[in-house]
Chain A
């Protein structure tokens, strides 16, 4: 007897949420409170000792945030999730849980510029060393593996270059190396791609983007696939050694296939502190309810805009993997058959100056540093998000001087095309 499993849109609305048993409130309330009372001293001791499930203090967990965590875990097909104040905070907690000073992790060069900065500079102070590899040449991941390697990190759909990562090929290298495979799935969202189905052990998101979807709340999340055997590996002491903070509990032995998420919560989140605000969790939850509708509209609009741009005389190239002939088209057909997201780059024949002119003359596209909003967004990465990178890093990240990045919103596509048309016609 098999129970029928709900579909994606049903989970996007219902997973994690239920009518409040005491008040009957149907929408998840915002539990805007720092702390939660204990039933009695034994209950308090059980909570602090991790012996029972429950709420203590909002830095460790909050009932509004918990609904968001379960919902994203359900949408990604994971065992558990931990929300964070931002996508960057989520990444920091993942690596804090996996790496010791002197350890290495391998990361794709094709990443969001902020992640390249975080990995290159901020992590140095922790003694975590990034080793770069290139998703266009999978053998570079294999060659980068060393005895110090503790994880492999990629973006499923890379920001901003639009590269699609061959997740299964990289997952296989991670398997052979005996390290967890971490996938940032921000640009695809689980509506377009579920990395756990392709071998990811840990999925991270900036919730600020398509999941929240409205550009109104920062947030990040870590999803534990429950697939990595920490004990068999023996190379992740936070998960397998007795924790002095908790009287000698061994995380993996005690929490099984959601041990990574628990370790992130009770060690990284507790001690580093980047908790998500319950209000932001509420805003993001509301956004997720319409994820399927929004993402479909995002990709439908993106298809129309990329097809139009690719025929425009001022445009030298369009990088969008769903376009026939794109170098990632086959990978997009495999991994993102509904559409390769709504963020893409294109090149202007007029180079750097043409890029500055376009972002200055659009009227409907917002010139700002974000993606995954209902509103259409435009940015010239070389002069903004990627300006701190070297020229080589810029080119490698798909952010050369002629490159413009668009994040296509859910407005009427005719209006988006008309705005680009008038802005491209302005002399510079």
Chain B
């Protein structure tokens, strides 16, 4: 997998296939980026589990925090790493000790560790780095266009009827809609620093 440019169908396949997401480094503070992403994905029907040992006893959208991946105690489809790049390898190593391996390890915008990715991929796990699942979901459904963002998809097909009023379907045939100067540029180094200090 070329981790600089992901085909839309790779990302769409992951977001369609997975049902549960453990978000490592999630914050219960309602203005933090991780909170935004967590709540959005929760509203889209994913079984969300916030993982952060510093937040035990708290919850996001009614979902209680757990202290580690192991403590989740059931198989999970995807691990979303909302921590700095330096934390990616230990989280991947922990994931590889789970009784049931996750299908996907996803590292947030600004988070990238190619060695950790290679290790996960060697175990048959799909990897996405330096992307946000909320942005990708919004992009591939085209919901993100409602705030003027370039979804970089185009389609002449009629998409499935929206659910819950304004929620557009991920099951939308589209073709790539062009590059942007910034689209695949490594996001801000600051982003990962901020996430370390989340909450």
Q: Which residues of A contact B (CB under 8 A)?
A: 1-6, 10-11, 14-16, 18-22, 24, 36-39, 43, 46, 49-55, 61, 63, 66-67, 69-70, 73-74, 77-83, 196-197, 225-227, 229, 231-232, 242, 246-250, 252-254, 256-258, 261-262, 265
Contacts and interface: CB of A to CB of B under 8 A. Distances in A.
A21 B180 contact: no
B43 A3 contact: no
B175 interface: yes
Given A51-B36, A70-B149, A11 B177 contact: yes
Given A52-B43, A247-B30, A253 B145 contact: no
23 contacts: A3-B8, A11-B178, A15-B177, A18-B174, A22-B162, A39-B164, A46-B43, A51-B36, A52-B39, A53-B144, A53-B145, A69-B148, A77-B178, A81-B148, A197-B181, A226-B181, A226-B185, A247-B31, A248-B31, A249-B31, A256-B187, A257-B187, A257-B188
A67 B151 CA distance: 11
A242 B31 contact: yes
Contact of B149 (A79, A225, A232, A247): A79
Contacts of A231: 188, 190
Among B31, B40, B179, the most chain A Cβ lie within 10 Å of the Cβ of: B31
A326 B133 CA distance: 51
Interface in B160-176: 160-162, 164-166, 168-169, 172, 174-176
A21 B178 contact: no
A167 to B, nearest CB: 13
A56 B192 CA distance: 31
A232 to B, nearest CB: 6
A51 B145 contact: no
A81 B30 CA distance: 26
B146 A55 contact: yes
Contacts of B152: 74
Contact of B175 (A6, A52, A78): A6
A21 B159 contact: yes
A271 to B, nearest CB: 16
Among A19, A53, A246, the most chain B Cβ lie within 10 Å of the Cβ of: A53
B180 to A, nearest CB: 5
A44 to B, nearest CB: 11
B33 interface: yes
Interface of B: 5, 7-9, 30-31, 33, 35-36, 39-40, 43, 109, 132, 135, 138, 142-152, 154-162, 164-166, 168-169, 172, 174-183, 185, 187-191, 194
Nearest to A81: B148
Given A10-B154, A22-B161, A52-B43, A70 B183 contact: no
A55 B181 contact: no
B8 to A, nearest CB: 7
B182 A79 contact: yes
Contacts of A257: 182-183, 185, 187-188
Among A36, A80, A197, A261, the most chain B Cβ lie within 10 Å of the Cβ of: A80
Given A3-B9, A5-B176, A197-B181, 9 more contacts: A4-B176, A16-B145, A16-B151, A39-B165, A67-B145, A226-B185, A246-B31, A256-B188, A258-B149
Given A2-B5, A18-B156, A257-B187, A265 B178 contact: no
B166 to A, nearest CB: 5
Contacts of B159: 18-19, 21
Contacts, number: 190
Contact of B33 (A54, A74, A253, A261): A253
A56 B83 CA distance: 32
Contacts of A63: 146
A95 B184 CA distance: 27
B188 A232 contact: yes
Contacts of A265: 147-148
Contacts of A225: 180-182
4 closest cross-chain pairs (CB), A and B:
A226-B182, A69-B148, A73-B150, A3-B176
Contact of B109 (A37, A38, A256): A256
Contacts of B185: 226-227, 257
A400 B37 CA distance: 56
A70 B152 CA distance: 9
A46 B145 CA distance: 17
Given A2-B5, A54-B166, A262-B147, A77 B40 contact: no
Among B39, B149, B172, the most chain A Cβ lie within 10 Å of the Cβ of: B149
A19 B39 contact: no
A37 B189 CA distance: 38
A77 B180 CA distance: 4
B142 to A, nearest CB: 7
Contact of A74 (B135, B158, B160, B178): B178
Nearest to A2: B5
Nearest to A7: B178
Nearest to A42: B43
Contacts of A3: 7-9, 175-176
Contacts of B194: 253
A5 B5 CA distance: 13
Contacts of B178: 5-6, 11, 15, 74, 77
Contacts of A39: 164-166
